[in-house]
Chains A and B, each alone.
Chain A
């Protein structure tokens, strides 16, 4: 008698589990995807796991990861939040060691990502979502731009007002002569920060001759150079510095929401736009899960989360919201200058070119004669 009720209970539990698991079993390919997409989903579920190497903060990435896991239950995401050089180091080391590495890498350091792709570490994948990307954001179906993030100028709202705040790069020259700003401007040290370097070279491209004048003006205003984004934000927030130049817009946006001292702007003459570059590793142990992730991140569902929850800027033009390409394009117009994802991106990884640029930069700043 007792034995029977016990067996019954087990039966109930088993039925319960089946009910919960049912939706997993009948996952279907999203609408508009190729008919055989189901195969990828099944294979990915068999893999059961996805390893992502990324530079995006865990906190920002969490809603995206959660939503992905909800969409494809049974695939556990292992999200590695690394800084860009760590990511690169780790990836090439692990690739060489052959013991498995990130299935997907997703980094804001565009040049290093492109270099990895160039060096043959990326898997070619014709994503069904690729057609929804701007052309420049898809490089040989290997590297994909996933976000559309303007590079901004941040300033201390409590301490800088009106005319003291620049409107454009051209306007900077005027603002920088303000003695109040002397020694109170911060930017990346291109020598010690990879991203800082790449934004400056974009400035050079977009600003032409004006760039070196701007560099000289920075030098005269005794600009302080940093490696740490967090530290720069902190300085601007506390008033130790008043203005930060070339800060990633998504950081500025996020920080300004929490910190009443932080204000930010996109220069009106041109605004450099960067994109977090993603590729699927050729060495991936879970290539199918990686494909699902790539498609998901580029899908409208994924991009909506990128914009709404992660406060990164969505790259798809069909996504509406505050932090989207659609909104920014309207705001910036022709001033938006995207960093291409191509051979050009790695131009300055050439040692000689890089050191030449750094030397000129230091000369303009007046730190080296």
Chain B
């Protein structure tokens, strides 16, 4: 029963290669003094020496650290509060607020930032109103503080997802027992509810903290005017500092990021185990009672509305506005600047048009293929616990620690220098593989959530009835998680639509996607086209959201 079939071992080994080969390349490169493919390269620690001596690296590191810290301090309390309000109180409009809360997860931070520039930048339309009212603009969107606040606010959903599911699984009878024992509501919250959701909050806190070290798009756009570098943008710009691209330096920075994030990813594993410890303690399926807030419910709703306005409405209105004008600024009116040429440009340029089509293909077909692969991987370790599955566990978590930008670079190398893959480099396959690996942890969480819902006896029963393990998978397990897999497909579609950094180094004819085109165009191209692309991207994600809502797909568990 516990023997590992050969096919599963193959799946696990392939997954491990897909994950560790690119990362291994990065690691190797970081110990060289020239691109690994150049003759005459030497081993050494020069790369690390250089970056550690570079004051910009120190600055970038500190900025990343502040962002991480700020994100944790902003998003954890807010996310927790939001979860409490949504799950445990009678706040009005809960049903339709819920999907809105998750928008920032599915909209690229690049797009949000372009939007912020247009709406609350120094001459943004909201800034102009502020100028009229206060006489000056009381905020500076390009400051480090703004970057931290925006990063924090846009990661509130990450915390919300975890704490709300923890709160949901915490049945009210546990609290009621405390009430009956004589504790007041505040005491119950402090001594029962909070400690029980604490592991989930801590888990999401760690998640947000290490995501902070991977912030890229946000700093690329908002950090540019005042030159605020973070680790990922430092790395992206490192090429210019020395005039010629310096892979060894980039790899060294990458390894620094990985060195910070890997321990955190691993600690999450430990935290998750703790979190489960509490969840299994949940009371027996009693209905959750909501806490009547009285007049305060409108205050709470107002709070959520403000957060939504700041995090979602303001930037999206900004970017949509920008997509339909030729130019904007003080004294420009929408009517005279209105144009559809931005879209015409997109449709007329073959590479942009390919980008739009590729983005759709990658999301729909690629997303589907990814879910199929994730399912195979999930089945390989399903109901097993041995050395192989532990290897797979770590393999699956590792990509989370590597920023997409670098993963993309590493995959470019793999496709260049690994002959069997070379013919696929200029095809969407290269992007698809990189995307699938970068989002492996996310995808596997979706799939394994479904898999765990299948009762083990349903599979065992099929075995006893005479089915081989393979037949069990085909006849029982997979049919049972069919709807879970469809929902995962939708989630992966939206995440693939949003992804922008992984494709940057893989960008070429045939591999254009909206996300990487935006990063590339940002360097030299025009904002007109970027805005139009952003608008198209938002439309695509909205379609995904719409389908999710229409068919009642839960956007998180």
Instruction: Determine if chain A interacts with chain B.
Output: yes
Binding site for B on A (CB under 8 A): 55, 57-59, 62, 78-83, 85-86, 88-90, 92-94, 96-97, 99, 111-112, 115, 156, 158-159, 186, 189, 191-194, 197, 224-231, 233-235, 237-240, 255, 258-262, 348-349, 351, 354-355, 358, 368
Residues of B within 8 A of A81 (CB): 351
Residues of B within 8 A of A99 (CB): 416, 422, 425
**Nearest CB of chain B from residue A100's CB, rounded to whole Å:** 9
A97 vs B422: C-alpha distance when bound (angstroms):
9
CB–CB B524/A83 < 8 A: yes
**Nearest CB of chain B from residue A348's CB, rounded to whole Å:** 6
Residue of A nearest to B504 (CB): A86
CB–CB A230/B507 < 8 A: no
**Nearest CB of chain B from residue A363's CB, rounded to whole Å:** 13
- Does B515 count as interface, using CB distance less than 8 angstroms? no
**Nearest CB of chain B from residue A192's CB, rounded to whole Å:** 4
CB–CB A89/B416 < 8 A: no
CB–CB B326/A258 < 8 A: yes
0/1 per residue, B438-452, Cβ < 8 Å to A? 000000000000000
Among B515-535, those with CB < 8 Å from A are 520-527, 530
Given A82-B520, A83-B523, A238-B327, A349 and B225 touching (CB < 8 A)?
no
CB–CB A230/B526 < 8 A: yes
CB–CB B242/A354 < 8 A: yes
Binding site for A on B (CB under 8 A): 35, 37-38, 55-56, 117, 121-123, 221, 224-227, 237, 239-245, 247, 326-332, 341, 345, 348-352, 412-413, 416-417, 422, 425, 505, 507-509, 520-527, 530
CB–CB A349/B244 < 8 A: yes
A86 vs B330: C-alpha distance when bound (angstroms):
36
Residue of B nearest to A85 (CB): B239
CB–CB A112/B416 < 8 A: no
CB–CB B412/A93 < 8 A: yes
Given A237-B329, A259-B327, A261-B329, A231 and B522 touching (CB < 8 A)?
yes
Residues of B within 8 A of A90 (CB): 508
Residue of B nearest to A108 (CB): B524
Given A80-B509, A83-B524, A351-B242, A96 and B351 touching (CB < 8 A)?
no
CB–CB A240/B345 < 8 A: no
A177 vs B172: C-alpha distance when bound (angstroms):
68
CB–CB B417/A227 < 8 A: no
Residues of B within 8 A of A92 (CB): 35, 37-38, 245
- Residue among A59, A86, A111, A234 with most chain B CB within 10 A: A234
Residue of A nearest to B417 (CB): A97
A239 vs B123: C-alpha distance when bound (angstroms):
7
CB–CB B505/A86 < 8 A: yes
Q: Give which listed residue, A57, A97, A194, contacts B37 with CB less than 8 A.
A: A97
Q: Give which listed residue, A80, A194, A224, contacts B240 with CB less than 8 A.
A: A194
Q: Give which listed residue, A186, A194, A230, A260, contacts B530 with CB less than 8 A.
A: A230
Q: Give which listed residue, B243, B327, B345, B352, contacts A197 with CB less than 8 A.
A: B243
CB–CB B416/A261 < 8 A: no
Residues of B within 8 A of A111 (CB): 243
CB–CB A226/B524 < 8 A: no
CB–CB A88/B244 < 8 A: yes
**Nearest CB of chain A from residue B50's CB, rounded to whole Å:** 9
**Nearest CB of chain B from residue A149's CB, rounded to whole Å:** 14
- Residue among B240, B329, B416, B507 with most chain A CB within 10 A: B240
A120 vs B140: C-alpha distance when bound (angstroms):
48
A225 vs B227: C-alpha distance when bound (angstroms):
7
Residue of B nearest to A94 (CB): B416
CB–CB B244/A189 < 8 A: no
**Nearest CB of chain A from residue B155's CB, rounded to whole Å:** 24
Residues of B within 8 A of A112 (CB): 243-244
**Nearest CB of chain A from residue B235's CB, rounded to whole Å:** 11
Residues of B within 8 A of A83 (CB): 520, 523-524
Add 14 more A-B contacts to A58-B349, A192-B241 (CB < 8 A): A58-B350, A82-B508, A92-B38, A96-B37, A99-B425, A112-B243, A225-B227, A227-B523, A228-B523, A233-B527, A238-B329, A240-B121, A258-B326, A354-B242
CB–CB A261/B245 < 8 A: no
Residue of A nearest to B329 (CB): A238
Q: Give which listed residue, A228, A238, A355, contacts B224 with CB less than 8 A.
A: A228
Residue of B nearest to A224 (CB): B225
Residues of B within 8 A of A227 (CB): 224, 237, 240, 523
Residue of A nearest to B419 (CB): A99
CB–CB A226/B224 < 8 A: yes
**Nearest CB of chain A from residue B369's CB, rounded to whole Å:** 25
Residues of A within 8 A of B526 (CB): 230, 233-234, 255
A229 vs B523: C-alpha distance when bound (angstroms):
6
Q: Give which listed residue, B38, B56, B329, contacts A96 with CB less than 8 A.
A: B38
Residues of B within 8 A of A192 (CB): 227, 237, 240-241
CB–CB B527/A259 < 8 A: no
A115 vs B422: C-alpha distance when bound (angstroms):
26
A322 vs B244: C-alpha distance when bound (angstroms):
35
CB–CB A230/B522 < 8 A: yes
Given A86-B505, A86-B507, A96-B37, A259 and B350 touching (CB < 8 A)?
no
A282 vs B244: C-alpha distance when bound (angstroms):
20
What are 23 A-to-B residue pairs whose CB atoms are below 8 Å?
A: A55-B524, A58-B349, A80-B508, A83-B524, A88-B244, A88-B245, A92-B35, A96-B35, A96-B37, A99-B422, A192-B227, A226-B225, A227-B224, A228-B523, A230-B527, A233-B527, A234-B527, A237-B329, A255-B526, A261-B329, A262-B327, A354-B241, A355-B242
Given A192-B237, A230-B525, A93 and B328 touching (CB < 8 A)?
no
Q: Give which listed residue, B241, B348, B505, contacts A89 with CB less than 8 A.
A: B505
CB–CB B329/A240 < 8 A: yes
Residue of B nearest to A368 (CB): B55
Residues of A within 8 A of B38 (CB): 92, 96
Residues of A within 8 A of B240 (CB): 85, 191-194, 197, 227
A340 vs B31: C-alpha distance when bound (angstroms):
36
Residues of A within 8 A of B413 (CB): 93
CB–CB A89/B245 < 8 A: yes
Residues of B within 8 A of A78 (CB): 509
Q: Which 5 A-B pairs have the closest CB atoms?
A: A238-B329, A96-B37, A239-B329, A349-B243, A192-B237
**Nearest CB of chain B from residue A213's CB, rounded to whole Å:** 22
Residue of A nearest to B350 (CB): A58
A259 vs B332: C-alpha distance when bound (angstroms):
11
Residues of A within 8 A of B245 (CB): 85, 88-89, 92
CB–CB A58/B351 < 8 A: yes
Residue of A nearest to B517 (CB): A81
**Nearest CB of chain A from residue B70's CB, rounded to whole Å:** 23
CB–CB B244/A158 < 8 A: no
Residues of A within 8 A of B221 (CB): 231
CB–CB A240/B37 < 8 A: no
A220 vs B352: C-alpha distance when bound (angstroms):
41
Residues of A within 8 A of B520 (CB): 82-83, 86
**Nearest CB of chain A from residue B514's CB, rounded to whole Å:** 15
Residues of A within 8 A of B328 (CB): 237-238
CB–CB B122/A240 < 8 A: yes
**Nearest CB of chain B from residue A29's CB, rounded to whole Å:** 30
Residues of B within 8 A of A358 (CB): 241
CB–CB A228/B524 < 8 A: yes
**Nearest CB of chain B from residue A296's CB, rounded to whole Å:** 20
CB–CB B349/A62 < 8 A: yes
**Nearest CB of chain A from residue B348's CB, rounded to whole Å:** 8
**Nearest CB of chain A from residue B454's CB, rounded to whole Å:** 45
A191 vs B247: C-alpha distance when bound (angstroms):
17
A225 vs B523: C-alpha distance when bound (angstroms):
13
CB–CB A97/B242 < 8 A: no
**Nearest CB of chain A from residue B55's CB, rounded to whole Å:** 8
Residues of A within 8 A of B332 (CB): 158, 238, 261
**Nearest CB of chain B from residue A302's CB, rounded to whole Å:** 20
